[in-house]
């Protein structure tokens, strides 16, 4: 006894129904995408109006500046991405962070002989504030981190290393760092060397010695 197969008409109806569901789903997805795009455009417009209205607060108040950066990140806007365009012309934020980046480089170069290119964020913050003077715009550690991330375009020289609730800033590429060679020479006699011995012999700071080991 032969089993009756599924008729060609039934197959055609099923495929037609699947095509309709797929088409309907595509239309819904396109509508949702268009609606989201419209909302983002509106949010961006409101953000630009907000920036225009609160320009001075954003530039002068570090806490206000962090909140503004977070608002920008929500819709994928990076005011620091370019030195040109609306955000740079309106707020000067691009210039602010690039100028801050130059000051960070100057501090790191000045202290390189002492710390081997490794500096704790708090110390970097203090040194930058000292160099800026009391009449300059206030700068927070968060501003330093943002500026350092922009310095990565210079290559792999600047690295942010999380350490025990704070950050170490490495301003010398690891492959160019001669600290390892110096410590290896120090350890040749006994086959090992301690942090205290490194500090005593080389007059290094603790963090620099720990980083090498």
Residues 99, 65 share a domain: no
In a domain, 56, yes or no: yes
Based on the fold, state whether residues 101 and 56 are members of the same structural domain: no
Residue 89 lies in a domain: no
* Tally of structural domains, the chain: 2
Beta strand residue intervals within the chain, DSSP E: 118-120, 159-163, 166-170
Domain with residue 139: its CATH number is 1.10.10.10
CA angle 8–10–14, rounded 5-degree value: 120
Q: Please state, in angstroms and rounded to a whole number, the distance separating the CA atoms of residues 114 and 204.
A: 7
The reply to whether 132 and 72 lie within a common domain is: no
- Residues 45 and 106 placed together within one structural domain of the fold: no
If asked whether residues 171 and 107 sit together in one domain, one would say: yes
Q: Are residues 60 and 156 in the same domain?
A: no
Same domain? 141 vs 56? no
Q: Are residues 57 and 149 in the same domain?
A: no
The answer to whether residue 37 is domain-embedded is yes
**59 is a domain residue:** yes
Question: Would residue 4 count as lying in a domain?
Answer: no
Q: Give pTM, 2 decimals.
A: 0.49
Range of the domain at 186: 95-212
Classify residue 8: in a domain, yes or no. no
Specify if 88 maps to a domain: no
Q: Which pLDDT belongs to residue 97?
A: 77
* CA dist list (Å): 110 to 1, 23, 64, 204: 94, 64, 31, 15
Whether residue 99 is found in the same domain as residue 173: yes
Give the model's pLDDT for residue 121.
Answer: 92
- In angstroms, rounded to a whole number, what is the distance separating the alpha carbons of residues 61 and 63? 6
**Mean pLDDT per 10-residue segment, the chain (213 residues):** 55 69 68 73 74 72 72 65 52 68 85 83 91 73 86 70 84 62 67 79 81 71
Which residue, of 54, 79, 104, is where some domain finishes? 79
Whether residue 129 sits in one domain with residue 36? no
């Amino acid at each position: 006894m032969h089993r009756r197969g599924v008729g060609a008409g039934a197959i055609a109806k099923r495929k037609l129904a699947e095509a309709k569901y797929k088409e309907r789903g595509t239309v819904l997805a396109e509508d949702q995408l268009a609606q989201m795009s419209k909302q983002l455009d509106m949010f961006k417009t409101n953000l630009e109006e907000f920036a225009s209205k609160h320009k001075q607060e954003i530039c002068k108040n570090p806490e206000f500046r962090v909140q503004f950066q977070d608002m920008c990140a929500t819709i994928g806007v990076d005011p620091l991405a370019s030195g040109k365009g609306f955000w740079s012309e309106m707020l000067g934020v691009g210039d602010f962070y690039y100028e801050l980046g130059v000051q960070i480089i100057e501090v790191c170069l000045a202290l390189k002989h002492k710390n081997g290119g490794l500096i704790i964020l708090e110390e970097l913050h203090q040194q930058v504030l000292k160099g800026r003077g009391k009449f300059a715009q206030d700068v927070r550690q968060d501003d330093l981190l943002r500026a350092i991330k922009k310095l990565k375009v210079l290559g792999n020289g600047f690295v942010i290393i999380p350490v025990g609730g704070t950050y170490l800033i490495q301003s010398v590429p690891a492959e160019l760092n001669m600290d390892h060679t110096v410590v290896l020479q120090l350890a040749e006699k006994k086959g090992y060397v301690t942090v205290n011995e490194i500090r005593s012999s080389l007059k290094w700071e603790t963090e620099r010695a720990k980083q090498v080991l």
